[in-house]
Structure 1
Amino acid sequence: MRQSTRVYELVREEILDWRLAPGTVLTETDVAERVGASRTPSREALARLVREGLVRTLPGRGVMVTEVSVDGVAQLFQMREALETYAARLAARNGDPVVFGDLLTRLREARADMEARSRPGDDFAAYYLLIQEFDAAVEQATGNTYMRDALHDVRGHLVRLRRLARRSPARMLQAAGEHLAICAAIRDRDETLAAQAVAVHIHNSLDNILTALVSEVAGSALMGASIPPGRPSNL
């Protein structure tokens, strides 16, 4: 692995996991010291994070971890809908029904496990791993390298939002049903239904996130306001 790639992955994970909070200012020297690397790979890693939108350039000062705002989330979900609905169409057209049939079985089992819990907890780590596997299968089935790269960037921001705080068991159960509908449509090679199921999932996710964001942001000018550092939202 190239050193710049290692630095990129380490800093990216710290941003997604909120160890580097929105508004944190970083320089090449900061990053180099933080991960034990030289300045050149640190510069390359920061440039890659700028392109991904996880940090933005501060002229003469380095970069700053981008804030999470209502406007930004809405724009992110517009891009997500455009990419993921078409990716679902391609996956339904080109994907292996056996692969998606196996994923469908496992998604059903995961949802049944959620329903069976008398007092559901808020640790959905195993389910998130399964969804990552499902997402990877969809990306692979598209056969489109450019789309995979674009989805990678968008999903990085989604991971950041997800890790803000705990998901409610009710929303997770609803999302599990939405994932089942998407996977079943892809397995059945129904492009239209797959795209529609993705759109429903994205719209419900956006409503849930925006509701939580608005509840966190103080003041009357909610649109465009940012979550204060250290004030994660219950998404």
Structure 2
Amino acid sequence: MRFTFWRISAIISLHYREEIRCYIQEGRASMATQEKKRGGLKQAVYRDLRDKLINCVYAPGTTINELELTQTYGVSRTPVREAVTQLEMDGYVKILPKKGIYVTEITLEDVIQIFRARAEIEPITLRMAKPYLSVERLIALRNSILEHEHDIYNAYKWDMQMHLYFIDNCRNNYLVNMMHKVFDDNTRVVIGTGQNEAKIHNAVIEHTGILDSLIAENDIEVACRLMRKHIENCRLAAIQYLDSPAYREHIQKTSLTAPAAALA
């Protein structure tokens, strides 16, 4: 059973639409102010589109119409085109002349690289964060993860909360910034390759095991080993989906509009 972050999308869209509306209502201004305003519009559109792409509101393999985006955001084509160009540089879309904006597929190489980065770096950040972790916070995370085991939306939210709590407390800004980018791409992979109750149940067991090793046993070596194993299981689940009939059928449906390079 697959899911989308439509609730997140609604909140994100309301925030960015209000931001865009404020820019538009500023009225006529000097050339310098107009340039600043245009850049602000572009960034507001960029952030909203990026969040929707990461959360698969715009699903991999589909196309987005530029005109519809201008109508959605109530802006001209210029800030939309600039935002989309930046998103193409990020690797989330491909601009297809006369066809639209193609949302790039999630590839096997994406999965391999993302989970390899996580498997190597997350145990390191966990070890670095250990002296700064609060037992009270660890217990609260454990309780929240167990409480939402049967709620796919909130289960994934608390999954992310746990991982980012460790990363954000490693006290190394370079690692924090890098891993937040990795987790943006990881979110797209996890949602794009499908979530179901069985996956969530397994993840809950693995998460509570990591937390218990820190809370009850205070054993960082066990926690790091369990973290690496958990990430490996996530990698295998994503690869399994990419090799599934459902994903192959999806590829066939989108292959007429997608360039070969985007599907490679």
2: CA distance, partners of 1:201 / 1:42: 39
What do residues 14-52 of structure 1 show as CA deviations (whole Å, max 9, x unaligned)?
223434233445687775454334556445533543454
Scaled by the length of structure 2, the TM-score of the pair is: 0.64
Work out whether 1:198 is the aligned partner of 2:227.
yes
Match for 2:119: what amino acid? E
**Are the aligned partners of 1:68 and 1:227 in contact in 2 as well (CA < 8 Å)?**
no
The change in CA–CA distance for 1:8 and 1:189 in structure 2 (over 3 A counts) is: farther
2: CA distance, partners of 1:28 / 1:112: 42
Tell me the SS of whatever aligns to 2:243: helix
2: CA distance, partners of 1:51 / 1:152: 18
Alignment correspondent of 1:80: 118
| Root mean square deviation of aligned Cα | 3.5
The change in CA–CA distance for 1:201 and 1:55 in structure 2 (over 3 A counts) is: same
Alignment correspondent of 2:132: 95
Greater alpha carbon shift after TM alignment, 194-203 vs 82-91: 82-91
Work out whether 1:182 is the aligned partner of 2:213.
no
Query: CA offset at residue 97 of structure 1?
Result: 2.6
Greater alpha carbon shift after TM alignment, 131-140 vs 49-58: 49-58
2: CA distance, partners of 1:143 / 1:50: 32
Q: Which has the higher contact order (CA 8 A, sep 6+)?
A: 1
2: CA distance, partners of 1:41 / 1:109: 40
1: CA distance, partners of 2:176 / 2:113: 19
Alignment correspondent of 2:160: 132
The change in CA–CA distance for 1:166 and 1:66 in structure 2 (over 3 A counts) is: closer
Alignment correspondent of 1:148: 176
**Are the aligned partners of 1:111 and 1:173 in contact in 2 as well (CA < 8 Å)?**
no
Residue 107 of structure 1 is aligned with which of 139, 142, 154?
142
Match for 2:207: what amino acid? H
The change in CA–CA distance for 1:182 and 1:3 in structure 2 (over 3 A counts) is: farther
**Are the aligned partners of 1:88 and 1:186 in contact in 2 as well (CA < 8 Å)?**
no
Query: CA offset at residue 64 of structure 1?
Result: 3.6
Query: CA offset at residue 173 of structure 1?
Result: 1.7
Q: Unaligned 5+ residue runs, structure 2?
A: 1-18, 20-39, 256-264
The change in CA–CA distance for 1:89 and 1:36 in structure 2 (over 3 A counts) is: farther
Number of residue pairs aligned between Structure 1 and Structure 2: 215
1: CA distance, partners of 2:78 / 2:243: 40
Query: CA offset at residue 199 of structure 1?
Result: 0.8
Alignment correspondent of 2:29: none
**Are the aligned partners of 1:89 and 1:191 in contact in 2 as well (CA < 8 Å)?**
yes
Match for 1:208: what amino acid? A
The change in CA–CA distance for 1:81 and 1:40 in structure 2 (over 3 A counts) is: farther
The change in CA–CA distance for 1:177 and 1:51 in structure 2 (over 3 A counts) is: farther
Alignment correspondent of 1:54: 92
Q: Percent identity?
A: 25
1: CA distance, partners of 2:66 / 2:248: 34
Residue 238 of structure 2 is aligned with which of 209, 212, 217?
209
**Are the aligned partners of 2:213 and 2:222 in contact in 1 as well (CA < 8 Å)?**
yes
Please identify the structure whose Cα radius of gyration is greater: 2
Query: CA offset at residue 62 of structure 1?
Result: 8.2
Work out whether 1:171 is the aligned partner of 2:199.
yes
Alignment correspondent of 1:68: 106
**Are the aligned partners of 1:213 and 1:227 in contact in 2 as well (CA < 8 Å)?**
no
Query: CA offset at residue 178 of structure 1?
Result: 1.2
- Which has a greater percent of helix? 2
Q: Unaligned 5+ residue runs, structure 1?
A: 115-120, 220-224, 231-235
**Are the aligned partners of 1:15 and 1:160 in contact in 2 as well (CA < 8 Å)?**
yes
